[in-house]
Chains A and B, each alone.
Chain A
Amino acid sequence: MRAWAHAGWEARLLLRNGEQLLLTFIIPVGLLLGLALTGLLPDAYGDDRLARSVATVLTVSVLSSAFTSLAIATGFERRSGALRFLATTPLGRVDLLAGKALATAAVTCLSTLAVLGTAAAIGWRPPAGAAWAVVPLLVGIASLAACGFALAGLMRAEAVLAVANGAFLVLLMFGGVIVPADSLPGPLGGIAPWLPSGALAASFTETLVDGVVPSAGPLVILLAWLSGAALLAARTFRWS
Chain B
Amino acid sequence: MSVSDLVVRFGSRPAVARLTFDAPHGQVTAIVGPNGAGKSTTVAACVGLVSGWTGRIALLGSSRDPSRPAPAAERARVGVMLQDGGLYPSARPRELVAYVASLHRDPLDPAALLDELGLDPSTRTPIRRLSGGEQQRVKCALALVGQPELAFLDEPTAGLDTEGRHAFHDLVRRLRDDGTSIVLTTHLMDDVERLADHVVVIAKGRGLRSGALDDLVGGEDCISFSGPLDADLAPLRAALPAGCEIVESRPGRYRATGASDPLALSAIASWTAQHGARSSSISVGRESLEDVVLDLVGRQP
Contacts and interface: CB of A to CB of B under 8 A. Distances in A.
Contact of B69 (A81, A92, A240): A92
Contacts of A92: 69, 72, 75
Given A87-B49, A87-B69, A89-B146, A81 B80 contact: no
B91 interface: yes
Q: Would you call the interface of chain A mostly helix, strand, loop, or mixed? A: helix
A55 B95 CA distance: 38
B241 to A, nearest CB: 54
A20 to B, nearest CB: 10
Contacts of B99: 5, 9
Contact of B90 (A17, A88, A89, A239): A17
A77 B88 contact: yes
B51 to A, nearest CB: 10
A13 B91 contact: yes
Given A13-B90, A16-B90, A240-B49, A90 B85 contact: no
Interface residues of B, number: 27
A16 B92 CA distance: 12
A88 B95 CA distance: 19
A91 interface: yes
A49 interface: no
A235 interface: no
A156 interface: no
A5 B78 CA distance: 20
B104 interface: yes
A88 B48 contact: yes
A82 B100 contact: no
Nearest to A92: B72
A5 B102 CA distance: 8
Interface string A71-100: 000000101111011011111110000000
A-B pairs, 6 with minimum CB distance? A81-B85, A85-B86, A88-B80, A81-B86, A90-B76, A80-B85
12 contacts: A2-B103, A5-B102, A12-B95, A16-B90, A80-B86, A85-B82, A88-B80, A89-B75, A89-B80, A90-B75, A90-B76, A240-B84
